[in-house]
Amino acid sequence: MLDVDKIRKDFPILKRKINGKPLVYFDNAATSQKPQSVINAITHYYEYYNANIHRGVHTLSEEATEAYESSRSKVRNFIGAKETKEIIFTRNATEAINLVAYSWARQHVLPGDEIVLSPAEHHSNFVPWQILAQERGAKLVFLDLDAEGIVDLNSAAKIIGPKTKLLTITQMSNVLGTIMPVAQLAEMAHKQGAIVLVDGAQSLPHLPVDMQKLGADFFAFSFHKMLGPTGVGVLWGKASTLESMPPFLSGGDMISSVWRDKVTFNSLPWRFEAGTPNIADVIGSGAAITYLQALGMENVHKYEQELTEYALAKLSQIDNLAVYGTHDVNKRGGLISFNMAGIHPHDLGQILSESGICIRVGHHCCQPLMRDLNVSGTARASFYVYNTKEEIDSMVEALKEAQKVLGHVACK
């Protein structure tokens, strides 16, 4: 298992105090904290070999190019991609999904086609398909969730059919924490000749994920949720599919040759990386992968399951507190969304913040799901490798105090 005390020493921000109390950071589903090794990698680039990449023949450019492309190789290895050219750097998972929507879907989705998704999708995997469907005369079709908040496979087998052109599905819900049966759904979609996109923004930071086993055609994620910097995402796609797609953005570096009257595009992956990229943060993202690989993703997942099981048990001690999603830690990741009867989530978030505890409150960019749950929003605590059971105890005590302060029922 993980040496959490040692891990915590790698994260300088955890030394901070809020209102005189130790920082407890439970907002990892929104963005994670960064270890010193990631911070150092970014700083070292700017201090030692800051230069633009590709085509440069001087030493700094060659060193920057090597470090940048080394991060691409690390991503390939981390997710089990077949080829490095299948790794496309973007700004975030949202841009990666939009790349598919604009470059692949606008070539293939036709009037009457169906785009299948779950009601638990983040807006970044929802709104692009709404816009596309309206443009193309296609239809959004929604999968059913069972009582645990997981896609119902029996229902899915009836919904995914001959009209399905695309299945786009989160691997792990950022509200319910539930892990979706992506491989089984992908098999159903492929039997109907459909393409599969998986939103891995919440899953990849916390679970072992292998593109050769997942069954997806596209996979999108962001580094800022997995110990890396903001401003870097990845779209993985099968090389054969990517080769058939036109560029999403155009300009420098994505070209092979330009004449006055025509242009030929660059080969993969650079065809989809127009302009100067976020060089420093891509290099920092490579350092984040190195850190996670040293921990072992199986170990990360098991530790978070342990934290989640502990937190669910502790939260059950609070009267009138509702938890959303399954209580089976084998079917969920390390986040818990909840509400207290009579207390607005924003009030909870503010009171916890006074105790140095950071959680996320609101609709979590999942308004359709909130409407299905018949709530305006939830409070959400999300865990990572540097969190502890003692921090969960602090949160639970703060929640109990919140009930007392706001004049609601006493706790057990």
Q: Within 10 A of 143 (CB to CB), how many other CB atoms are there?
A: 21
The helix (run of H) or strand (run of E) holding residue 67 is: helix 59-79
Please tell me the distance from the alpha carbon of residue 62 to that of residue 55, in angstroms, as a whole number. 8
Q: Which of 358, 365, 366, 411 is catalytic?
A: 365
Q: Give phi and psi for 270, each to the nearest 5.
A: -70, -15
**The pairing of beta strand 233-237 with beta strand 87-90:** antiparallel
Is 365 part of the annotated catalytic residue set? yes
* Contact status, residue 327 vs residue 314, Cβ threshold 8 Å: no
* Contact status, residue 380 vs residue 175, Cβ threshold 8 Å: yes
Q: Within 10 A of 131 (CB to CB), how many other CB atoms are there?
A: 13
Please tell me the distance from the alpha carbon of residue 351 to that of residue 408, in angstroms, as a whole number. 14
Q: Give phi and psi for 355, each to the nearest 5.
A: -95, 10
**The pairing of beta strand 263-265 with beta strand 255-258:** antiparallel
Structure-block tokens of residue 304? 């978070």
Please tell me the distance from the alpha carbon of residue 334 to that of residue 325, in angstroms, as a whole number. 12
Give the sign of the dihedral formed by CA 127, CA 128, CA 129, CA 132. positive
Structure-block tokens of residue 68? 């940048």
* Contact status, residue 227 vs residue 251, Cβ threshold 8 Å: no
| Alpha-carbon distances of 104 from 194, 203, 239, rounded to whole Å | 12, 24, 13
Please tell me the distance from the alpha carbon of residue 170 to that of residue 30, in angstroms, as a whole number. 15
Residue 125: DSSP 8-state: G
Give strand ranges (E) for 331-388.
Answer: 335-340, 357-358, 360-362, 378-382
Q: Under the phi-then-psi rule, with left for phi > 0, alpha for psi from -120 to 50, and beta for the rest, what region is 320? A: left
| Alpha-carbon distances of 31 from 86, 142, 281, 335, 350, rounded to whole Å | 25, 28, 15, 13, 19
Tokens 């539930």 belong to residue: 178
The residues annotated as belonging to the active site are 365
